[in-house]
Amino acid sequence: MFVAIADALVAAIKAGRLSAGSRLPGTRSLAATLGVHRNTVVAAYAELTAQGWVYGSQARGTFVTTAPILADAAPAGTTSATRARFRVAGDDAVRTAARPLETDGSTPQSREHPALILSGGIPDLRHVPRAALARAYRRALLSRKEVLDYGDARGVLRLREALAAMLRATRGMPCSSEDVIVTRGSQQGLALAARVLVRPGDTIAVEELGYPPAWQIFRREGATLLPIPVDKSGVDVDALADTLKRRRVRAVYLTPHHQYPTLATLSGPRRRQLLALCQRHGVAIVEDDYDHEFHYASRPVLPLAAADPGQVIYIGTLSKIVAPGIRLGYIVAPRDVLRTMAAERMLLDRQGDAAVETAVAELFEDGEIQRHARRMRRLYVARRDALVRLLRTRFAEAVEFDVPDGGMSLWVQLRGRRSAERIAAHAARQGIWVGPGRYFSLAGHALPYLRIGYAGWSERAVAHAVKSLGL
């Protein structure tokens, strides 16, 4: 029941009925209104605090923060399908909340409640080449009136050509501009993939543990989700094979390069086995390569789409390498699939921002984005190593983990009887947001894990935050 109450409050926040800074009803008052035990409301408020939707002051009450970011690289919040009805203080209308889009449990900074977001793969925006981007944007606006007109739903040709060149050079994908569609981030890419693939009642196989916002998108299209376990070599392809003997599966959604959230890389033998298995059973593959650029130990592993582009819908993003705020992602897929996606995109928002797309294309052509990626790889691997040293020297008795070859976070297992939810709630009260393991479980099971991101903040800030977790 407490999850239903939390879901309904999240829906009210998202709809703007509860704005940043709004004071929630007291736990006793809301419990009396709903006819539930006060402890149920206390648990709901604790859940919202852990996810970063609200913050509490012992003297003043519980208040709404700025709504959490829907990050491409980085989620950690799962909510249930339950529906709840309740009255919100100051509003006599009865609120009905369906399942909201899951979030990564993080919250951006606000003047009222500053936050240190360590729950997801958020890049360090202080290093974005803003001056170069601003100059390119200005040139796009001044030199091409077409950027202010209606354009191609697939995206600006110049950016599609730049992306195709990048994918050929760095990911071994034999594609041209005709094989690419530009999206407003990878989240829209997932939505388009789901619209094209899913019919109500279809089964989509997903990683367990995995990425809740993608699950929610497939569910919204009427899919039934089938969990496939993961281990240190990525998704268990043998388990998927056993499932396909008994059940028809429309598609499998994967994060094979840096499995979300464990960061395991799908092994070579499993990649080959997966491609052959899905081809044999006519199963599509949705490959979410959300942070390909940030691989540190060796050259990044080539995408599944590089081996079999006709079978895979490949989704990438520029949110991690440039910035989430520019809202740019892309899809590579068979051309008949892309035509259907472009038609769906016309219904959703007609087209993207041609001026931004043109500006980013120029940065690709000038090599600015490639240089920025190299700089950030060096910076992020140093931050990863600093966090590893801190955890191993100061918290060796409290945690254990593998050092990932890439990514922007660590997947940390808690030793003993430490509760990830309790630690996350304690951290949230201090304005620090980490991702408890339960938010990555399709079944919503409590898990003794924390997802701790390190990319978006200085080594000193991350160290201070981790020392405050109460491990």
Instruction: Give pLDDT, residue 50.
Output: 54
Provide the pairing of β-strand 251-254 with 203-208: parallel
Structure tokens at 334: 């068979």
Q: Are 285 and 309 in contact (CB under 8 A)?
A: no
Hey, is 95 helix, strand or coil? strand
pLDDT digits (tens, 9 = 90+) for 58-100: 567 888 874 333 333 333 333 333 222 222 332 222 222 223 3
pLDDT digits (tens, 9 = 90+) for 243-266: 999 999 999 999 999 999 999 999
Residue 434 contacts by C-beta under 8 Å, 6 or more apart in sequence? 118, 119, 423, 424, 427, 450, 451, 452, 469
φ, ψ for residue 198, nearest 5 deg: -95, 135
Q: Give this prediction's pTM.
A: 0.76
| Whether the bond into 261 is cis, omega within 30 of 0 | yes
Q: Are 249 and 278 in contact (CB under 8 A)?
A: no
Instruction: Give pLDDT, residue 301.
Output: 85
Residue-range domains of the chain with CATH? 2-107 (1.10.10.10), 146-366 (3.40.640.10)
Q: At what angle do helices 368-394 and 354-366 cross, to 10 degrees?
A: 80
DSSP state of 174: -
Which residue stretches of the chain have pLDDT < 50?
Answer: 66-114
Instruction: Give pLDDT, residue 1.
Output: 65
